[in-house]
Structure formats: structure tokens, C-alpha cells
Amino acid sequence: MGQMVCGNCHHLLSYPQGARNVQCSSCQIVNLVLEAHQVGNVKCGGCSMLLMYPYGAPSVRCSSCQFVTEIGAHNMRPPLSVQQGQPPPSHNAVQ
């Protein structure tokens, strides 16, 4: 089982592994389930709460204070080699 927080009412939701969507039993909102490699983290520019966002999003709105935090270049998705735990290619390789 997986767990996530509802993006609307903040209730903790449980769902079967592999589910793509989960409907909140409290507010009935359908939440998109994202895997760890599909999300980034950024601190809210208004209240400093840690926010999660899907990679590719230009900004994220805080569900607590409603502040919109822009996703800068420092919060973009890392290269695939870094995500897979491989070191980045060396520019000083001997040929």
C-alpha cells in the first residue's frame, strides 16, 4: 500500500501500489499519484512549507498559504544519470 496527502483537504490517503489516481474519501477530489522520480521539492516562498510538484511545472501554489512559488532552474529535474545513481560523465577522461 502507498500513502499520500490529499491535495485539497490534506487527509492522509492509502492506495494500492501501482494506482495512478486515488479519490479522497473525505472531499471526493481525485488526486494524481506520482512516483518519487516524478516529483520535485521546493520550499514555499510564503511560509517555507516543503512543497512537492510534478517535474515540468513552472510554479506551485502552496495549499496552506496560497503563495505561488516559481520553480527556478535550481529545482529542475536532474539528469537521468543522476536519478539512476550514476556519476555524471567526466570531462577529463583520458582517451
- The amino acid at residue 51 is L
Total of domains in the chain? 2
pLDDT reported for residue 87: 53
* Residues 6-54 pLDDT 10s: 888 989 999 998 899 999 999 999 998 877 777 888 899 999 998 888 8
What's the domain range around 59?
A: 36-75
Task: Establish if 87 belongs to a structural domain.
Answer: no
Task: Establish if 56 belongs to a structural domain.
Answer: yes
Q: Are residues 59 and 71 in the same domain?
A: yes
**Sequential DSSP letters for 23-81:** E-TTT-PEEEP--GGGEEEEE-TTT--EEEEETT-SEEE-TTT-PEEE--GGGSPPPHH
* Residues 49-68 pLDDT 10s: 988 888 888 999 998 899 99
Q: Are residues 62 and 44 in the same domain?
A: yes
pLDDT reported for residue 95: 45
Task: Establish if 93 belongs to a structural domain.
Answer: no
